[in-house]
Amino acid sequence: MKFISLDLLKAALISSCLLQFSCAEKRQQEEPRRPNIIYVLADDMGIGDIQAFYPEGKIATPNLDQMAADGMRFTDAHTSSAVCTPTRYSILTGRYNWRSRLKEGVLWSDDKGLIDTSRTTVPSLLKDHGYHTAYLGKWHLGWNWGHDEEGNIDFTKEVTHNPNDNGFDYAYGHVASLDIPPYVYVENGKVTAIPTDSTESKDKYGWWRKGMTAPDFEHEDVTPNFFRRSIAYVKERAKTDQPFFLYLALPSPHSPILPSEKWQGKSGLNPYGDFVMMIDDYMGQLISAVNESGIEDDTMIIFVTDNGCAPASKIDELIEAGHHPSGIYRGHKADIYEGGHRVPFIVKWPKTVKAGSVSEQTICTTDLLATCAALVGYELKDNEGEDSYNILPLLQGETLKEEFREATVHHSVNGSFAIRKGEWKLIMCGGSGGWSYPTPQEVAEMDSLPPVQLYNMKEDPSETKNLEAEHPEKVQELQELLTKYVLEGRSTPGIAQENDGEKKWKQLWWID
C-alpha cells in the first residue's frame, strides 16, 4: 500500500481550494449580482398626486419626481383592484384577487389569512433563491389571531398564518388600515405590546374607529416608524453580500390623514396634501439611505400605490383648489373607472433602467412575481403567478413588436369587472361599480343605463363617451376574452387552473 506524503496532501488540498475559488469567481463574473428589491406601496394615492405624472398637480413631490427622472415612469400602470386587500393579494401572488375566496370588498380586523400558505409568493420565491425577505407596514391580508374562550382576540397568543408563513424572513406591521382596530404591532407572529386601552378620534381628517390600542402604537407615528425601520433595515442589509427584498406597505395617505407637525399646512391645500408631501420627503430619505450605503446601482426601487385617491382626502376640496388627484381620469378609489386603479408606477434601478425613460405599455401590479422569477432565472409553474407577466424587458428598454400582455382585468369594490385590451376597455356594469357617480345603487334606481360600457382609451382616456352601441363586435370580443380568463383560472399561457371559493360571483351576470 502506498501512502501520500503530508506535503503532497497539503499541495493537493491547496490546489483544489484554488480551483474551487477560481470557478466560484468565474461564476460570479458570469452571473451578475441579483439586485436588491425595495417595493414601496403607498395607500390611497392618485396618479394626479405626483407631479411627474400630472404636472398640473398642486402638491409638491420633488423626491418622487426625481426618482422618476432617475428611472422609468409607467403611464399605463394598474392595480388589480380599486381597493386595499385585493390589490395586496395580487401583488404578492401574481394572481388576480377575484380568484381568491374574496370576491368583493376588503378584509376586516379578525378575518383569517387570505393567501394560502402553500401558494408561491414573491417573498417565498425570492427566499428560495437566496434573498433575505422583509415586510414592514400595513398587511391587510388577514392573519389568524389567537382567541380566548369567549371568542375575543387574546393578544398574548401567537398570531398564525402571518406574513412569515407567506415567505417573509422578517415581518413587522399591523393587521389592516390605520382606521381599523386593533391598533397593535405584530412582529414575527407576536404582539409587541399588549393593548391596555381603547382609543378613537373624531378629528375631521384624522378619524379612526374606536378600538384596543397598544402603548407602543401611536397613530401619528406609524408611517414615520415604518420608514425609520425600513431605512435601518437597508443600512444593515447593505453590509452583507446577500440580496434582499423589502416590501414596505405604507398605511398612508389613507385615512386617518395625519401629517406630522413639520408638514402641517405645507401644501397650501389641506391635510391630505400635507400628508402626501410628508410621504414624498420620507421616500427621499429612503432613497438617500440606499445611495449612502453604496448599493444604489444594485438596488431596484419600485414606488406604486394600491388604488386611486379616496374621498376621505376631501376630493371636492382639492379640486376647488385646483388639484385633481386622479389627473385627467374619471373616478377615484373603489371605482372601475380609471381613477380607481390607474396608478403612478416608478422604477429606479441605475444599472439597468435608463434615467428619464417612460413606458406607455399597459402593466399590472400582478406582474411582480413573473418579473422576480425572471430575475432569478426561475420558470413559473402552471399554478404559480397565473396572471403575472414579466416586465423585465420593458425595464431593460427593449422595443417590443407588439403588446407584451394580451389583456388586463380590472375589478371594483363591489366585484364589478372590466377588461382592457389595447386601446379598448369594456366595463361589465352600468356605472362606477364603486363610490363615484353613478354608484351601483344609483344605477339601479335609474334603470336606464346600458348594462355595459365600452371606451376607446386612446381617443377618450377620461371615459366620457360610451361606444357599446356603436361597436357590438368589440363588446362581444372582449366579453368572450374576459369569460375565458375567468373560467380557465388564468390569463397567461398555460394549463387551466381552479379559482378559489364559490364558482359564480354575483357580478358575473353574463356567464351562465
Domains belonging to the chain, first-starting first, are 32-395 (3.40.720.10), 408-488 (3.30.1120.10)
Q: For 478, which DSSP code?
A: H
Give tens-digit pLDDT for 259-303.
999 999 999 999 999 999 999 999 999 999 999 999 999 999 999
Give tens-digit pLDDT for 250-271.
999 999 999 999 999 999 999 9
pLDDT band at 197 (very low <50, low <70, confident <90, very high): confident
CB 409 within 8 A of CB 67: no
Which of 149-153, 194-198, 396-400: highest mean pLDDT?
149-153
pLDDT band at 196 (very low <50, low <70, confident <90, very high): confident
CB 301 within 8 A of CB 287: yes
Residue 512: predicted pLDDT: 64
Closest among 436, 437, 345 to 395, alpha carbons compared: 345
Please give the C-alpha separations between residue 271 and each of 178, 261, 264, 308, in angstroms, as whole numbers: 16, 11, 7, 17
CB 104 within 8 A of CB 114: no
Give tens-digit pLDDT for 403-459.
789 999 999 999 999 999 999 999 999 999 999 999 999 999 987 899 999 999 999
Calculate the average pLDDT of the chain: 93
Q: Once rounded to an integer, what is the mean pLDDT over residues 307-313? A: 97
Q: Once rounded to an integer, what is the mean pLDDT over residues 66-85? A: 98
% helix, strand, coil for the chain, step of 5 = 30, 15, 50
CA geometry: angle at 501 spanning 498 and 506, to 5°? 105
Whether cis (ω within 30° of 0) applies to the bond prior to 451 is no
Whether the pLDDT of residue 177 is over 80: the answer is: yes
User: CB-side exposure of 332: number of CA atoms within 13 Å?
Assistant: 21
Residue 402: predicted pLDDT: 72
Share of the chain above pLDDT 90, in %: 87
Residue 33: predicted pLDDT: 75
Q: Which three cell numbers stand for residue 108?
A: 376586516
Task: Name the residue type at position 267.
Answer: S
Residue 217: predicted pLDDT: 96
Q: Which three cell numbers stand for residue 136?
A: 414592514
Residue 399: predicted pLDDT: 80
CB 325 within 8 A of CB 59: no
CB 298 within 8 A of CB 36: yes
Residue 448: predicted pLDDT: 83
Residue 137: predicted pLDDT: 98
